[in-house]
């Protein structure tokens, strides 16, 4: 298994970035070829994330703080986002998916790595240049109850974007623009003077989306945008988001723990585990042809709302809990819960790449997967 | 058209309660309302359901459907005031708990009926060790010594499959992961071997992989102890995996009851249909999702007639004036479908096309 | 996508169908107006508000309550007993050693006492909020520095500290007392403000504002302060009562306000000499202090209940 050994080393010494970029690009290209259809993956990616790392230091002491360790929330992940596509990021709590969102929004400073927006590394920007980039990358938050300032009216909440970026809308037009936005997200424009607590959860999330849209961004990062909503309202918001994507040619980074919703909305999906990307590919590749054991376990655990489906499905029940990101297992991070784990998994970090055995094959299993023993297994039982 | 007062018995896997005198818990025409500044919130408006030993009833509903309030009323943990139960009966083994004295109810609570909450961390006392909290049940209710109680606590932790129970018995709640904490909650509920467990969104706060572990555990323990289980949830997926029968709630009323398979294959209420259509499926890449239009009603001003009528694609004039009763659902030829009921004026059209 | 459009149309009509409060169209209801709604129905608030309004009127327009001059002394009236029947008359509450109308002095005394309390509260709230907000929002070494300074001031016993400050001044003017009390009083507000800001600064709407590229002053003034200020207002209201009694205490000890200033503290101080002969000279201004302190504490309590979102 010499080829595995090689790839393991490639990660261990954190290869120079340029080669890393080439590698990922090449891999994405293969994936694109292998994919049955890749509607949005054409041309240059709009957002390129390279070896992004975020470690939160753990300190001790009151006056003189000494670093005693770090929570490795995000530990070297790379992916691309193309114009007009939706990239879903799934993973359990603590896998670092929300930290990725904050890093891309530059709400947190990356420990290492780059985020290129149209070729410009935004992790190095500050001041005016950063503000300009922010116009193009906006965010929709998870909890519509805490993401709107309770002391401001809806008009002020959405209108604030224009006060911060006055070049987008001249003063006289702002109110009308806010009303237009309310209309676009399906709210009555007359509600402009109301306060957030006068709205239901779904309506509030529409307000949050209107705020995200106000600056005409190219990318919207959605951090669990519907998980706080009722089932019947979730569908409304998802449909609205899809409609807006078509209308404004938006790219979504859709972060969620609900695999069904992610499948519904995403063109491509990345699966995260403990700060690393375990597997990434088109929605069909990930859901119908997963090769990483974690993805397989995750998919098999999702309850399917169809009692007749439960008998036929194989369930992989993982034992134990997700290890602490402050002290992740050596080698492959999933090995402590993996039924395939062998000695090699503890020693070598598996690289996120198309597995050797599928390389060059025209199969949906030929997509990037960070497992030494990647093999295909259909756990969903697609109809 | 037969109007069902109490939901007809679904084919339960096991027989009724030990003494053979009908269901373990029987909720009849329960109403709960809350007095608030904006008016009277009618949270529960005539709920009927029952559970037998060894049976799992799933109560499905969105926020504000009254599913949790009903459970709180059963447990007797409603805040009163502002809450009020203007009418209804909650029969536990044939005795109306609402007419019992405080002392009598307290004896049932915990011993006969136990509850599992969504948020395990806030349900456990952070300054007491897990073993102490588990042991407390035995010290208080059974008068065991400290040592015996701790031994029992370890035994319980083993039973809910907490690894290394002996070493972890003195750990504090925050030292456990979310899934483990929920197991501890389950252990607590099980401690006195109750006849009925009410689980209010027991896995909502957990990750999918852990969710599956916890639901499996619950199901196993239920069979082992032959308990009745009321599972309150909004998740159609979780319900499909474990329930025997389902009661769908909307605006404080049960709009449909059915054995689990039939609910999914042939819903008899437009709301159920809408819910099923509006969730994306893992095994299907759908096109556009069906969305139930509008919002759940404001419980201070529930629409007249059928509460679902403003959102219903099939609503007619009668739906805006007459409240539909929960009626027995039948096959085309008139033969009754056991355990099935629908509170829709047009259930026939819904189920038979 | 024609389906998408039809769905959109349905949604556009949705709010009118089932909006939370459709009856009065677009009537804004802020948290403050909700709080006000609650307050008006709270008898505790109504009672304390009426009382405080009365006291403020007394402070601003003492002439409305009495025509007598609080400084006019006539030894003919030396220690004359109160005439309880002559309500609101200048001899209603009797006369002090120098033959001055106690009723007039109580009315006029409100001004100094309330002026001190209001001014101290204003300074303390401003200073404490700024310090607490900066410490809480920026964290790091700014927080360490400001918090330690706060702790040092907090460690100084309030009355003892004020005594030290006051004795080092030559003059006994109103502003000296105000400064002395404010100098030591801001720490409580700073701590409350810091704690409040710490919880608010991680709220999603603050993150959202940052994600939009909002400047720090904007975030502080538009998002942090309006949401963090409620507990500060409650503490400040209750503290206001405390400053009234602090002023009285200092004046009683002879280091606060002094004659010829008319204040309740000054009168309590001079009244103690006649405690055996005529306790009412001491009791009446003491009673006023107690009532005023109580009124502000009640007001603070009522405001706290109205602003606490957990209770709604």
pLDDT per position as a tens digit, C233-263? 889 988 888 888 888 888 888 887 877 888 8
CB A235 within 8 A of CB B278: yes
Q: Is A30 on the interface with C (CB under 8 A)?
A: no
Substitution target from B293, B298, B301, B302 for chain C, most C beta carbons within 10 A: B293
Residue C90 has pLDDT above 80, yes or no: no
pLDDT at C120: 93
Instruction: Give the contacts of C150 (CB within 8 A, at least 6 positions apart).
Output: C131, C135, C187, C190, C191, C194
pLDDT at C11: 36
Domains of chain C: 43-311 (1.10.3720.10)
Which residues in A lie closer than 8 A to residue B63 (C-beta atoms)?
201, 230
Count of helix runs (H) and strand runs (E) in chain C? 12, 0
Note which residues in 288-307 of chain B have CB less than 8 A from chain A. 288-293, 295-296
Which residues in A lie closer than 8 A to residue B216 (C-beta atoms)?
317
The position carrying tokens 């404001």 is: B298
Domain A39-136+217-308 architecture: 3-Layer(aba) Sandwich (3.40)
Chains that touch A (3 or more CB pairs under 8 A): B, C
pLDDT tens for C154-174 read: 888 888 888 888 888 877 788
Q: Give the distance from residue C295's alpha carbon to the nearest chain A alpha carbon, in angstroms.
A: 28
Q: Is B293 on the interface with C (CB under 8 A)?
A: yes
**Taking CB atoms and an 8 Å limit, are B240 and A310 in contact across chains?**
yes
Cβ-nearest to A92 among B209, B276, B289: B209
pLDDT at A294: 92
B308 in any annotated domain? yes
Residue B21 has pLDDT above 80, yes or no: no
φ, ψ (nearest 5 deg) of residue A135: -60, -30
| C177 three-state secondary structure | helix
b/e code C135-160 from CB counts within 10 Å (16+ = b): bbbeeeeebeebbeebeebeeeebee
pLDDT at C9: 36
A352, A357, A363, A365 alpha-carbon torsion, rounded to 10°? -40
Cβ-nearest to C18 among B37, B288, B294: B294
Structure tokens at C199: 């919880």
B19 in any annotated domain? no
Structure tokens at C94: 């009797």
Q: Give the distance from residue B64's alpha carbon to the nearest chain A alpha carbon, in angstroms.
A: 10
pLDDT at A310: 65
Confidence of residue B6 (pLDDT cuts 50, 70, 90): very low
Q: Give the distance from residue C143's alpha carbon to the nearest chain B alpha carbon, in angstroms.
A: 28
Structure tokens at B27: 């909720």
Q: Which of A311-320, B72-81, B321-330 has the lowest mean pLDDT?
A: A311-320
Return d(Cα B177, Cα B103) in angstroms, integer. Answer: 36
φ, ψ (nearest 5 deg) of residue A52: -70, 130
Q: Is A116 on the interface with C (CB under 8 A)?
A: no
pLDDT at C10: 36
Which residues in A lie closer than 8 A to residue C1 (C-beta atoms)?
243, 246
Q: Is the dihedral of CA A304, A305, A308, A311 positive or negative?
A: positive
Which residues in C lie closer than 8 A to residue B298 (C-beta atoms)?
18, 20
B158 in any annotated domain? no
Structure tokens at B289: 């999702």
Q: Is B79 on the interface with C (CB under 8 A)?
A: no
Instruction: Give the contacts of C41 (CB within 8 A, at least 6 positions apart).
Output: none
CB B133 within 8 A of CB B125: yes
pLDDT tens for A60-97 read: 766 666 777 888 889 889 999 999 899 999 988 878 88
Structure tokens at A209: 């989306």
**Taking CB atoms and an 8 Å limit, are A299 and B237 in contact across chains?**
no
B14 in any annotated domain? no
Q: Which domain holds residue B47?
A: 25-112+194-352
Average pLDDT estimate for B64-70: 87
Cβ-nearest to C31 among A150, A165, A203: A150
pLDDT at C124: 94
Instruction: Give the contacts of B264 (CB within 8 A, at least 6 positions apart).
Output: A305, A306, A307, A308, B240, B276
pLDDT at C283: 87
Return d(Cα A17, Cα A48) in angstroms, integer. Answer: 13
Substitution target from A145, A163, A188 for chain C, most C beta carbons within 10 A: A188
- Each domain of chain A, given as residue ranges in start order, spans 39-136+217-308
Among residues A304, C198, C104, A243, the alpha carbon closest in space to that of B236 is found at A304
φ, ψ (nearest 5 deg) of residue A318: -75, 145
Return d(Cα A351, Cα A371) in angstroms, integer. Answer: 7
Q: Which residue of A has its CA nearest to B275?
A: A232
Q: Is A200 on the interface with C (CB under 8 A)?
A: yes
Output B141 or A182, whichever has higher pLDDT. Answer: A182
Cα angle value A106/A107/A110 (rounded, 5°): 55
DSSP A222-287: EESTTTTS-HHHHHHHHHHHHHHHHHHT-EEEEEES-HHHHHHH-SEEEEEETTEEEEEEEHHHHH
Residue B265 has pLDDT above 60, yes or no: yes
Q: Which residue of A has its CA nearest to C145?
A: A63
pLDDT tens for C182-207 read: 988 899 999 999 999 998 888 889 98
Among residues C209, B99, C48, B3, the alpha carbon closest in space to that of A158 is found at C209
**Taking CB atoms and an 8 Å limit, are B295 and A309 in contact across chains?**
no
Average pLDDT estimate for A274-296: 91
Return d(Cα C115, Cα C108) in angstroms, integer. Answer: 11
CB A276 within 8 A of CB A334: no
Output C28 or A116, whichever has higher pLDDT. Answer: A116
CB-side neighbour CA atoms (13 Å) of B321: 3
Among residues B353, B352, B346, B350, the alpha carbon closest in space to that of B1 is found at B346
B182 in any annotated domain? no
pLDDT tens for B151-171 read: 888 888 888 888 888 888 888
Compute chain C's Rg from CA coordinates. 26
Among residues B230, B176, B164, the alpha carbon closest in space to that of B206 is found at B176
| B197 three-state secondary structure | strand
B328 in any annotated domain? yes
**Taking CB atoms and an 8 Å limit, are A303 and B178 in contact across chains?**
no
Number of other CB atoms surrounding residue C275 within 10 Å: 11
Among residues B25, B21, B13, B12, the alpha carbon closest in space to that of B195 is found at B25
Cβ-nearest to B295 among C3, C7, C14: C14
Q: Is C267 on the interface with B (CB under 8 A)?
A: no
**Taking CB atoms and an 8 Å limit, are B288 and C11 in contact across chains?**
no
Q: Is the dihedral of CA A88, A91, A93, A99 positive or negative?
A: negative
**Taking CB atoms and an 8 Å limit, are A231 and B279 in contact across chains?**
yes
Return d(Cα A21, Cα A113) in angstroms, integer. Answer: 11
DSSP C217-267: HHIIIIIIHHHHHHHHHHHHHHHHHHHHHHHHHHHHTTSSS-TTS--HHHH
Residue C25 has pLDDT above 70, yes or no: no
Residue C16 has pLDDT above 80, yes or no: no
Supply the mean pLDDT for chain C: 81
pLDDT at A39: 44
Return d(Cα B124, Cα B128) in angstroms, integer. Answer: 8
Q: Which is it for strands B56-60 and B39-51: parallel, antiparallel or unpaired?
A: unpaired
Q: Is C37 on the interface with B (CB under 8 A)?
A: yes
**Taking CB atoms and an 8 Å limit, are B281 and A304 in contact across chains?**
yes
CB A43 within 8 A of CB A119: no
Confidence of residue A209 (pLDDT cuts 50, 70, 90): very high
**Taking CB atoms and an 8 Å limit, are A150 and C144 in contact across chains?**
no
CATH code for the domain in which residue B92 is found: 3.40.50.300
Return d(Cα B120, Cα B203) in angstroms, integer. Answer: 10
Substitution target from C2, C9, C11, C219 for chain A, most A beta carbons within 10 A: C11
Which segment, A295-309, B260-274, B280-294, is predicted with the most confidence on average? B260-274
The interface predicted TM-score (ipTM) is 0.79
Tell me how long chain C is: 312
Return d(Cα A244, Cα A246) in angstroms, integer. Answer: 5
Residue C130 has pLDDT above 90, yes or no: yes
**Taking CB atoms and an 8 Å limit, are A195 and C29 in contact across chains?**
yes
Structure tokens at A26: 């090449």
Average pLDDT estimate for A320-334: 85
The position carrying tokens 């029969």 is: B91
pLDDT at B127: 87
Return d(Cα C202, Cα C240) in angstroms, integer. Answer: 30
Which residues in C lie closer than 8 A to residue B288 (C-beta atoms)?
1, 3-4, 7
Structure tokens at A99: 């930290």
Output A186 or A31, whichever has higher pLDDT. Answer: A186
Q: What is the total count of domains within chain B? A: 1
Among residues A54, A66, A127, the alpha carbon closest in space to that of A96 is found at A54
Return d(Cα C73, Cα C79) in angstroms, integer. Answer: 11
Supply the mean pLDDT for chain B: 83
Q: Chain centroid to CA B232: how far?
A: 3
The position carrying tokens 């397989």 is: A296
Q: Is the dihedral of CA A210, A216, A222, A226 positive or negative?
A: positive
Average pLDDT estimate for B253-266: 89
CB B47 within 8 A of CB B70: yes
Residue C7 has pLDDT above 50, yes or no: no
DSSP B125-163: -TTS-HHHHHHHHHHHHH---HHHHHHHHHHHHHHTT-T
**Taking CB atoms and an 8 Å limit, are B264 and A304 in contact across chains?**
no
Output B15 or B311, whichever has higher pLDDT. Answer: B311
DSSP B40-97: EEEEEEEEEEEE-TT-EEEEE--TTSSHHHHHHHHHT---TTTEE--S-EEEETTEEG
Chains that touch C (3 or more CB pairs under 8 A): A, B
Q: Which residue of A has its CA nearest to B289?
A: A235
């Amino acid at each position: 298994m010499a080829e595995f050994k090689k790839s393991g080393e490639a990660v261990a010494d954190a290869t120079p970035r340029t080669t890393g970029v080439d590698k990922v690009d090449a891999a994405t290209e293969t994936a694109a070829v292998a994919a049955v259809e890749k509607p949005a993956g054409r041309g240059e990616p709009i957002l390129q994330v390279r070896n992004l790392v975020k470690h939160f230091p753990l300190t001790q002491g009151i006056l003189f703080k000494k670093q005693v360790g770090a929570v490795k929330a995000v530990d070297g992940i790379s992916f691309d986002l193309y114009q007009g596509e939706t990239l879903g990021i799934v993973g359990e709590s603590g896998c670092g998916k929300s930290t990725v969102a904050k890093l891309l929004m530059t709400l947190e400073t990356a420990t290492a790595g780059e985020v290129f927006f149209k070729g410009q590394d935004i992790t190095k920007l500050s001041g005016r240049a950063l503000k300009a980039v922010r116009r193009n990358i906006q965010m929709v938050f998870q909890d519509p109850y805490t993401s709107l300032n309770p002391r401001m009216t809806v008009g002020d909440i959405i209108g604030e974007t224009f006060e911060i970026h006055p070049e987008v809308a001249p003063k006289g037009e702002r109110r009308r623009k806010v009303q237009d936005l309310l209309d676009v997200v399906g709210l009555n424009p007359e509600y402009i003077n109301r306060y957030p607590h006068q709205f239901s959860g779904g309506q509030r999330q529409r307000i949050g989306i209107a705020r995200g849209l106000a600056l005409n961004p190219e990318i919207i990062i959605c951090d669990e945008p519907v998980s706080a909503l009722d089932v019947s309202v979730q569908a409304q918001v998802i449909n609205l988001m899809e409609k807006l994507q078509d209308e404004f040619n938006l790219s979504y980074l859709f972060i969620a723990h609900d695999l069904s919703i992610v499948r519904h909305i995403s063109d491509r999906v990345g699966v995260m585990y403990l700060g690393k990307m375990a597997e990434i590919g088109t929605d069909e590749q990930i859901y119908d042809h997963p090769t990483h054991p974690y993805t397989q376990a995750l998919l098999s655990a999702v309850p399917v709302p169809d009692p007749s489906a439960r008998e036929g499905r194989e369930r992989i029940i993982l034992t134990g809990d997700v290890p602490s990101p402050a002290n992740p297992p050596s080698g492959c991070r999933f090995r402590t819960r993996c039924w395939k784990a062998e000695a090699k998994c503890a020693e070598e970090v598996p690289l996120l790449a198309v597995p050797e055995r599928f390389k060059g094959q025209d199969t949906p299993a030929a997509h990037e997967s960070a497992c030494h023993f990647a093999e295909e297994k259909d756990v969903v039982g697609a109809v | 058209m037969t109007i069902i007062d109490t939901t007809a018995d679904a084919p339960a896997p096991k027989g009724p309660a030990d003494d053979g005198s009908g269901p373990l818990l029987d909720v009849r025409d329960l109403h709960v309302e809350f007095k608030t500044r904006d008016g009277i919130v009618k949270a529960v408006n005539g709920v009927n359901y029952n559970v037998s030993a060894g049976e799992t009833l799933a109560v499905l509903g969105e926020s504000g459907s009254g599913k949790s309030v009903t459970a709180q009323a059963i447990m007797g943990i409603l805040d009163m005031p502002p809450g009020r139960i203007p009418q209804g009966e909650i029969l536990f083994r044939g005795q109306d708990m609402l007419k019992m004295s405080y002392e009598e109810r307290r004896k049932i609570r915990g011993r006969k009926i136990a509850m599992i909450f969504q948020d395990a961390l806030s349900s456990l006392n952070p300054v007491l060790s897990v073993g102490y909290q588990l042991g407390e049940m035995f010290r208080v209710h059974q008068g065991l010594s400290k040592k015996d109680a701790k031994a029992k606590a370890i035994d319980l932790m083993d039973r809910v499959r907490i690894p290394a129970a002996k070493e972890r018995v003195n750990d504090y709640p925050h030292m456990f992961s979310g899934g483990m904490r929920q197991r501890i909650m389950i252990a607590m509920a099980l401690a006195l071997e109750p006849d009925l467990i009410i689980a209010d969104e027991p896995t909502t706060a957990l990750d999918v992989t852990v969710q599956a572990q916890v639901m499996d555990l619950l199901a196993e323990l239920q069979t082992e102890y032959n308990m009745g289980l009321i599972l309150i949830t909004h998740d159609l997926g979780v319900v499909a995996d474990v329930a025997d029968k389902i009661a769908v709630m909307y605006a404080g009323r049960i709009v449909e009851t059915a054995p689990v398979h039939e609910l999914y294959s042939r819903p008899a209420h437009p709301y159920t249909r809408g819910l099923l259509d509006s969730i994306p499926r893992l095994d299907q890449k759908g096109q556009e999702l069906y969305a139930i239009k509008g919002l759940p009603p404001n419980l201070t001003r529930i629409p007249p007639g059928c509460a679902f009528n403003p959102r219903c694609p099939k609503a007619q004039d009668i739906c805006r004036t007459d409240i539909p009763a929960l009626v027995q659902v039948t096959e085309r030829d008139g033969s009754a479908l056991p355990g099935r009921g629908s509170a829709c004026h047009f259930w026939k059209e819904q189920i038979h096309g | 996508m024609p389906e998408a459009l039809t769905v959109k149309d349905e949604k556009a009509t949705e709010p009118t169908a089932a909006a939370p409060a459709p009856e009065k169209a677009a009537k804004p209801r802020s948290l403050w107006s909700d709080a006000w709604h609650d307050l008006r129905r709270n008898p505790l608030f109504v009672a304390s508000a009426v009382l405080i309004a009365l006291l403020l009127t007394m402070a601003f327009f003492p002439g409305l309550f009495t025509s007598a001059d609080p400084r006019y002394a006539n030894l003919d009236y030396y220690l004359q007993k109160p005439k309880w029947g002559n309500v609101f008359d200048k001899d209603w509450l009797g006369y002090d050693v120098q033959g001055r109308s106690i009723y007039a002095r109580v009315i006029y005394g409100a001004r100094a006492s309330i002026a001190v309390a209001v001014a101290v509260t204003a300074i303390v709230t401003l200073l404490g909020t700024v310090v607490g907000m900066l410490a809480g929002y920026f964290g790091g070494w700014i927080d360490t520095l400001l918090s330690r300074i706060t702790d040092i001031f907090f460690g100084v016993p309030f009355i003892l500290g004020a005594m030290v400050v006051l004795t080092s001044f030559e003059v006994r003017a109103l502003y000296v007392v105000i400064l002395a009390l404010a100098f030591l009083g801001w720490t409580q507000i700073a701590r409350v403000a810091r704690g409040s800001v710490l919880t608010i600064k991680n709220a999603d709407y603050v993150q959202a504002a940052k994600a939009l590229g909002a400047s720090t002053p904007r975030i502080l003034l538009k998002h942090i302060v309006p949401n963090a200020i409620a507990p500060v207002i409650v503490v400040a209201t209750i503290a206001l009562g405390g400053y009234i009694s602090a002023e009285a205490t200092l004046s009683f000890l002879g280091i606060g306000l002094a004659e010829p200033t008319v204040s309740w503290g000054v009168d309590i101080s001079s009244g103690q000499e006649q405690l055996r002969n005529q306790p009412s000279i001491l009791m009446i201004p003491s009673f006023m202090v107690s009532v005023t302190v109580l009124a502000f504490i009640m007001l603070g309590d009522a405001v706290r209940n109205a602003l606490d979102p957990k209770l709604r």
